[in-house]
Amino acid sequence: MQSGETPASADGLQSVRAAIQSADRCFQVIDGGKDGNGGPPPDAPKEEAQCPVYSIGHLDGVFYFLDTVGQPRALKAAQLTRRPDLLGLFGGSTFWLKDKFPKTAKVKEKDAAGDEVTKEIVVDFNINRSAEFLQRECFKAGLYGDHIKIRKPGIWPAPDGMPIVHCGDRVLIGSRLEHPGTRIGNQIWAGSPAQPRPGQPCDAMIARLLLSQIDELFNFRIPGSGIIVMGMLACAYYGAAIPWRPAGFLTGPAGSGKSSLLKVLSEAIPLKFATNDASKAGIEQTVDGRAIPMIIDEASDRIDQRMARALLDLVLSATSGDGTQGARGGSDGVARKISVSGSIIMASIRPPDMEAQHFGRFTIVEMMAAAKGADHTAQHRELAEWAREHGPALWGRALSGWERYREARLILRAAVSRAGCQPREMDQMGSLLAGWWTMLNDHMPTEAEADNAVRGIEGYIRGAEEVQQVSGTQQMIDHWLSQVVQMQRSTERRSIGALISRMLKPDGDVDFDDPNDVERADLNYSRKNVEHVLATYGVRVIRRHEPKPRSGQEPPRASEGDGIWVSPKNSQLTSLFKDTPFAGQKFVYEMMRLESYRPCPKDGRGQEKIIKMDGRSQRGCIWLRCCELGLSDDGD
């Protein structure tokens, strides 16, 4: 007892000790991992193995899975009760099935003492119970539909936009390599054969060296083309992860090195589809379900320009949003869905006929032949081999700079806008510049640096006037007026534009091709003959000061100035647009988009007035001003 402690407090301490020592035990400590009887420690609960087959969903009696290696499989209910189909789903292994749904049998054997005992052993798995389990799992997953995206190899966007690289047997998510079958949201990365993978990111000096070699070994007509080419390469590395995927077209005469440059770019891209002879349908079937760059050589060096234009139409859908999402009918009557996504780079001596929407997606890089006596064939080959060696590291650099690309794109797009670029092309130029910047720099561009970068490619910045020149309407006009037709009773041929210009001249003013052959010129190029030929193609010209005919009535017109009446239903006129983007009646739609377009006025009975064309009556004609067609200077 310590100093100051009272006897009462000592008695209280003794009472507490007695209560603890005599209390009932509510738990037992196992000494040394043994049970209370000195036996071995109890077995830990057995952890249940996860099913190697992933259930995706069900629809119309069909059950959808990813098999044991991550491949998509679809089985009907009856197939789930067939042993071969189940084994195919589980990769031929019965280990998990036997453990989860064992089928047992009793066997007799002798124990150590020689006595006969009966034991129950697992001999197989229970097929019906296995089928019931798989069906239940599919019903838990819900209905299968288009909202489920089965991803094949390629570069896909995560829900937050970050690139996810599917390399077939592995999926690179951030810095982690996952197994196929990984699901994020409604995206499922299916198993496929192994594909090339990105390497460790390289230093910016490697990308700068590649750009310097491209500028040194290839001749470009427009300064700054090397920047555009580097931007194409960088954007190709991102596959479908970027919302706007620029397409490029390398063009130039024979010997300009366009195929060699395309080879360098192809070698620098480890995961891609490359061909020198492919149709739109062939590309769709080969690249279906993948998000990879497409490299196409000799894209339009063929007689059938319709096939080349079909490739351009593929670009329009594949290079933005979710890419090409279509359906094709099969010989068995079952529709097959098509999905193509990724950047496209083409090369050809000359690009196919393009419409305005194509120019907004394509950036054409014009190449020139090397200087006389210069031969860079060996250097081109060496550069391609160098690009193959450093391609994975360049790809890794692009992926590691993803955040830098996204922010740089916004800054550079604004700079392109300040330079006067048209709105529909800001995304194209902004994306290309952002790709180039990401590969060559490790920081965000300042506003001054962005403006300086745009000045480096000012030859690719198209203003409003240039955009108008390549609009669909302007292309229709150029095609129409350039068509050469046969003159009456002659082997001579003239363009529609030249014939209209002839009719706009004052009476008695004949522009002879050969002043010494006045008689021939009068016969073939007279107003009467030209008027007849134009009427054959549904055209009548009305001059601003057209004299009255003998009837004394005013010439029919819908506005002041020089103009023409066009009969859209004229068969000869329609034939001029055959096998063009304006075939059928599409050319009429483009004519109606002209500011000077006027429909034919109606008479007192509410019917369209009749327009006489070389004595023939035409209804449904439309009026166009010649100044808007570039054939007259009588007004705006």
Dist. CA 295–CA 384, nearest whole Å? 14
- How far is residue 438's CA from residue 509's CA, in Å, rounded to a whole number? 63
Which is more confidently placed, 389 or 274? 389
Task: Report the C-alpha dihedral over residues 417, 421, 424, 427, rounded to 10 degrees.
Answer: -60
Asked if residue 504 lies in contact with residue 511, where contact means CB atoms within 8 angstroms, the answer is: no
For the chain, percent of residues with pLDDT exceeding 90: 39
Q: Which residue has the higher pLDDT, 518 or 102?
A: 102
566 and 535: one domain? yes
Q: How many residues does the chain have?
A: 636
**Inside any domain, residue 409:** yes
pLDDT above 80: residue 88: yes
CA distance 629 to 252: 30
Tally of domains in the chain: 4
What's the token pair of residue 334? 């079952």
Residue 119 φ/ψ region, left for φ over 0, alpha for ψ in the -120 to 50 degree band, beta for the rest: beta
Residue listed under structure tokens 């209905």: 143
Average pLDDT over residues 196-208: 95
CA angle 430, 436, 439 (to 5 degrees): 135
| CA distance linking residue 80 with residue 86, whole number of Å | 6
Q: How far apart are the first and last CA of the chain?
A: 119
2 occurs within a structural domain: no
Q: What is the model's pLDDT at position 315?
A: 65
Check residue 8 and give its pLDDT: 46
Which residue stretches of 470-618 are H helix?
472-482, 496-504, 518-524, 527-536, 571-575, 586-592
Average pLDDT over residues 339-353: 74
Provide the pLDDT confidence category of residue 263 given band limits of 50, 70 and 90: very high
pLDDT tens track for 49-87: 889 999 999 999 999 999 998 899 999 999 999 999 999
> What pLDDT does 509 receive?
61
Q: Is residue 630 part of a domain?
A: no
Across 515-525, average pLDDT: 50
- Percent of the chain exceeding pLDDT 70 equals 78
CB 297 within 8 A of CB 275: yes
pLDDT for position 179: 86
Structure tokens at 526: 């007279």
Residue 564 to residues 130, 522, 544, 626: CA-CA distances in angstroms?
A: 78, 23, 10, 7
Q: What is the pLDDT of residue 445?
A: 96
What pLDDT score was predicted for residue 4?
46
For residue 554, the model assigns a pLDDT of: 87
- Residue 51 CA to residue 63 CA, distance in Å, equals 16
In terms of pLDDT, which residue wins out, 518 or 355?
355
Ranges 182-196, 200-214, 359-373, 557-571: which has the least confidence: 359-373
pLDDT tier, 278 (very low <50, low <70, confident <90, very high otherwise):
low
Over range 168-173, report the average pLDDT. Answer: 90
Task: Report which of 474, 477, 425 is spatially closest to residue 454, judged by C-alpha positions.
Answer: 425
Per-residue pLDDT at 606 exceeds 90: no
**pLDDT reported for residue 524:** 62
CA distance 470 to 466: 7
- Provide the β-strand partners of residue 366: 251
| Cα maximum dimension of the chain | 151
Inside any domain, residue 61: yes
**What digits encode the pLDDT tens for the residues 299-318?**
554 434 555 566 666 666 56
Q: Take residue 616 and report the two structure tokens written for it.
A: 């023939």
pLDDT at 56: 93
Q: What is the model's pLDDT at position 33?
A: 47
Q: What angle (nearest 5°) sits at the alpha carbon of residue 426, between those of residues 421 and 431?
A: 135
| Residue 54 vs residues 50, 92, 128, 169: alpha-carbon distances, Å | 10, 16, 18, 16
pLDDT of residue 180: 85
**476 and 555 together in one domain:** yes
Residue 273: how many other CB atoms lie within 10 Å = 20
Mean pLDDT of 615-631: 89
For the ranges 122-136, 209-223, 449-463, 592-606, the lowest mean pLDDT is seen at 592-606
Query: Of 460, 482, 507, which marks where a domain is finished?
Result: 460
Least confident of 396-400, 423-427, 439-443: 423-427
Query: What value does the mean pLDDT take over residues 101-121?
Result: 86
Q: Which range, of 43-57, 379-393, 455-469, 603-617, averages the lowest pLDDT?
A: 455-469
Same-domain pairing of 264 and 413? yes
Q: Is 630 helix (H, G, I), strand (E, B) or coil?
A: coil
pLDDT in tens, 313-326: 666 656 555 554 54
Average pLDDT over residues 140-151: 90
Q: Tokens 């991102």 appear where?
A: 238
Same domain, 443 and 521: no
Q: Is residue 316 part of a domain?
A: yes
Q: Residue 202: inside a domain, yes or no?
A: no
204/208 Cα distance (integer angstroms): 6
Whole-angstrom CA distances from 273 to 262, 625, 630 are 13, 49, 44
Q: Report pLDDT digits (tens) over 452-498.
A: 999 999 988 876 555 555 567 777 888 899 899 988 767 788 899 98
Query: How is residue 583 written in tokens?
Result: 């075939």
Give the number of other Cβ atoms within 10 Å of residue 119's Cβ.
11
Greatest mean pLDDT among 103-117, 433-447, 521-535 lies in 433-447
Write the DSSP assignment of 531-554 as a string of letters.
HHHHHHTTEEEE-TTPPP-TT-PP
φ, ψ of residue 563 to 5 degrees: the values are -155, 175
pLDDT for residue 112 = 80
Which backbone phi and psi does 104 adopt, to 5 degrees? -110, 165
- The verdict on pTM exceeding 0.85 is no
Are 447 and 481 in the same domain?
no
pLDDT tops 70 at residue 214: yes
Report the distance separating Cα 237 and Cα 75, nearest Å: 36
Which CATH number do you get for residue 337? 3.40.50.300
Do 275 and 316 share a structural domain?
yes
Cβ atoms of 572 and 537 closer than 8 Å: yes
Residues 309 and 430 in one domain: yes
For residue 3, tell me if it sits in a domain.
no
Residues 449 and 496 occupy one common structural domain: no
Token pair of 249 as six digits: 């077209």
Which residues, 6 or more positions from 474, have their beta carbon under 8 angstroms from its beta carbon? Answer: 468
Q: Which whole-number Å values give the CA distances from 597 to 544, 558, 600, 630, in the listed order?
A: 16, 9, 10, 14
Least confident of 96-100, 104-108, 330-334, 355-359: 330-334
Q: How far apart are CA 564 and CA 542, in angstroms?
A: 6
* Residue 260, amino acid: S
Determine the residue type at 330.
G
Tokens of 452: 């300086």
Please list the helix, strand and coil fractions of the chain in percent, rounded to the nearest 5, in that order.
Answer: 40, 20, 40
**Average pLDDT score, the chain:** 82
If pLDDT is split at 50, 70 and 90, which confidence band does 340 have? low
66 shares its domain with 136: yes
Q: What is the pLDDT of residues 8-52, one digit of tens each?
A: 445 555 654 555 455 444 444 444 444 455 556 655 555 678 899
101: pLDDT strictly greater than 90: yes
Dihedral sign, Cα of residue 564, residue 566, residue 572, residue 577: positive
**Domain endpoint, select from 118, 141, 164:** 141
Residues 449 and 489 in one domain: no
Per-residue pLDDT, averaged over 214-240, amounts to 94
Beta bridge partners of 165: 155, 172
496-504 helix and 472-482 helix, angle to the nearest 10 degrees = 80
Same domain, 524 and 604: yes
For residues 287 and 17, which has the higher predicted lDDT (pLDDT)? 287
447 burial type by CB count under 10 A (0-12 exposed, 13-18 middle, 19+ buried): exposed
Q: Is residue 67 part of a domain?
A: yes
> Where is the domain boundary, 428, 460, 492?
460
Residue 244 per-residue DSSP state: B
Reported as half-sphere exposure (CB side, CA atoms, 13 A), residue 271 has a value of 32
What's the number of CA atoms in the CB half-sphere (13 Å) around residue 154? Answer: 29
CA-wise closest residue to 212 among 229, 234, 235: 229
Instruction: Let me know whether 116 and 155 are in one domain.
Output: no
Task: Look up the domain containing 73 and give its range.
Answer: 54-141
Query: Rounded mean pLDDT of 134-149?
Result: 92
